[in-house]
Amino acid sequence: MTPLIRLIQLTRSIKQGFLWLPLFIVLPLGAGHADTKNIKTLAVIPFETNSQTDISYITSGVLTMLHSRLSWKGHVEMVQKSRVDETLSDLQQTGQVRRVMAVGEKTGADYVITGIITEFSGAYSIDTRVYDLTDKSYMTFYGQSKTIDRVIPEVDIMSAKINKKVFDRTTLSYEKFEREHIITQEQLRRINPERMMPLPAMDEEAKPWWKIW
């Protein structure tokens, strides 16, 4: 084979390679877009506490639990804690609704979770809200524990309820709690608040206009 023929063959191979290259570039991007366009993003604002003792280690555990239990590959993506903290650090003293809206706007979250853990006579209650920023509505979830060491397990149960009620996701935890009658369909039906949540134009006292699930 003469050098000229080899050069011609090499040139053809290079041209064919460039013809196929766009397919290798475009196809993965297109497939990725199809997979991610329906993914919902969820941000968790660190829970507040109402306790005479320091239970910050519990709120840290709650945050870790929610991130672990609510993350759902291909469906629900959790906003990094650092991004939420950065947004909150830029806010001055403000009401909860504005904090939720700011976090949603800055992080691009579709859902925002807030909560408060209250201690009373050695027992603990966990009040949680899941805000849907697209529908401008929220859903409340409630748990209670007789001891501090049962708070995290209660949050695990709450996470199973959120997965089922908000994202229609049946997890292994949900099936376990349902078998043990810890979660019932009647309980899920009752997660339907009846009072309006105010979303003020300037302050927390303005007329409400958000709706409830």
Give the CATH number, domain containing residue 112.
Answer: 3.40.50.10070
Question: Cα(70)–Cα(68) distance, rounded to whole angstroms?
Answer: 6
Mean pLDDT of 111-136: 93
- Does some domain include residue 185? yes
Q: What is the pTM of this model?
A: 0.75
Strand partners, 126: 117, 143
CB proximity list for 54: less than 8 A, separation 6 or greater:
none
User: Looking at per-residue confidence, does 211 or 183 come out higher?
Assistant: 183
91: in domain: yes
Q: Is residue 56 part of a domain?
A: yes
3-state secondary structure of 13: helix
193-204 average pLDDT score = 44
Nearest to 63 by CA among 3, 117, 20, 122: 117
82-105 core/surface letters (b: 16 or more CB in 10 A; e: else): eebeebeeeeeeeeebbbbbbbbe
Q: For the chain, what percent of residues have pLDDT higher than 70?
A: 72
- Domain carrying residue 146: 38-212
Q: Is residue 17 part of a domain?
A: no
Average pLDDT, the chain: 79
What's the pLDDT at 194? 45
Find the DSSP H helices in the chain: 3-36, 56-70, 81-89, 96-107, 151-167, 172-179, 185-190
Confidence of residue 193 (pLDDT cuts 50, 70, 90): low
Of 84-88, 123-127, 174-178, 182-186, where does mean pLDDT reach its minimum?
182-186
Rounded distance between C-alpha atoms, residue 79 and residue 46, angstroms: 12
Domain count, the chain: 1
- For residue range 12-60, list pLDDT tens digits in order: 554 454 444 443 343 344 444 445 568 999 999 999 999 888 888 999 9
pLDDT of 189 reads 80
Greater confidence (212 vs 153) lies with 153
Q: Which residue has the tokens 């994202």?
A: 167
pLDDT at residue 209 is higher than 60:
no
Q: Does residue 120 register a pLDDT over 50?
A: yes
Q: Give the pLDDT mean for 157-177.
A: 94
Confidence of residue 100 (pLDDT cuts 50, 70, 90): very high
pLDDT of residue 1: 58
Tokens of 42: 């969820």
Cβ–Cβ under 8 Å, residues 211 and 135: yes
Residue 158 lies in a domain: yes
